[in-house]
Chain A
Amino acid sequence: QEQLVESGGGLVKPGGSLRLSCAVSGFTFSNFYMSWIRQTPGKGLEWISYVSSSGSPVFYADSVKGRFTISRDNAKNSVYLQMDNLSPDDTAIYYCARDRGDVIFDLWGQGTLVTVSS
């Protein structure tokens, strides 16, 4: 069945880096835009980045622009989020999500927890 599985979360110190991965199965990955969305108890759901089906263009929320990099490998059916210069405000559950078109998210992974703390 259609599935997204995130990995790579964990505990990191402020200023550190993490790379999240999202493995896709059950559908033709190369046909879809993909996004990363994060969720915190305080700020709720926040869209942070998307990548087109081919890998370019990409877009970022202002809160992560210049620090996070989204990419994809259609041969590996995977999308990635490189997160640099992390701050405690980046602590969240990070979801990858499939964009059915027009930035509507019709399939989500189970999420991976990122905790930024000293």
Chain B
Amino acid sequence: EIVLTQSPGTLSLSPGERVTLSCRASQSVPSSSLAWYQQTPGQAPRLLMFGAAIRATGIPDRFSGSGSGTDFTLSISRLEPEDFAVYYCQQYGSSPITFGQGTRLEVK
């Protein structure tokens, strides 16, 4: 099973700042089969990225993803108030599908 470790656990930032979140896999993720989700309180997760770097439909271009192998990142170029949420990575290249434990973005 591929274990995904996200860091840091919590980040305190201000609107307008840039942020980079990390997702590290315990073994190589085949074909960069990595997705990112955003979850706000009381809501279901929302797909942001897949294929490590492809934005899902309707996701603004301030979100970008990169990485391959075992190291992946999600960047938000300029934080908007609605971006303060929990972010999860998920690998789908190896069975079983696994998720990271999440990184919480909070307002400083």
A and B held together in a complex:
yes
Measuring CB to CB, which residues of chain A are less than 8 angstroms from any residue of chain B? 44-47, 59, 61-62, 95, 100, 102-111
Q: In the complex, what's the smallest C-beta–C-beta distance from B66 to chain A, in angstroms?
A: 17
Q: A44-B101, A45-B88, A47-B97 are in contact. Are A104 and B47 (CB under 8 A)?
A: yes
From residue 27 to 45 of chain B, which have CB atoms closer than 8 A to chain A?
Answer: 33, 35, 37, 43-45
Whether the pair B92, A104 counts as a contact (CB closer than 8 A) is yes
Contacts A44-B88, A59-B95, A104-B90 supplied; 5 other A-B pairs, CB < 8 Å? A44-B99, A44-B101, A102-B92, A104-B35, A105-B47
Whether the pair B96, A104 counts as a contact (CB closer than 8 A) is no
* Residue from the set B43, B57, B90 with the largest chain A CB neighbour count within 10 Å: B90
Report Cα–Cα, A62/B1, bound state, in Å. 11
Q: In the complex, what's the smallest C-beta–C-beta distance from B62 to chain A, in angstroms?
A: 20
The chain B residue sitting closest to A103, CB to CB, is B92
Whether the pair A108, B44 counts as a contact (CB closer than 8 A) is yes
Q: A102-B33, A102-B92, A103-B92 are in contact. Are A45 and B99 (CB under 8 A)?
A: yes
A-B contact pairs, 6 of them (CB 8 A): A44-B88, A44-B102, A45-B88, A45-B99, A110-B43, A110-B44
How many B residues have CB within 8 A of the partner chain? 22
From residue 41 to 70 of chain B, which have CB atoms closer than 8 A to chain A?
Answer: 43-47, 50, 56-57
**What residues of B have a CB within 8 angstroms of the CB of A46 in the complex?**
99
Q: In the complex, what's the smallest C-beta–C-beta distance from B91 to chain A, in angstroms?
A: 9
**What residues of A have a CB within 8 angstroms of the CB of B57 in the complex?**
106
Report Cα–Cα, A61/B95, bound state, in Å. 9
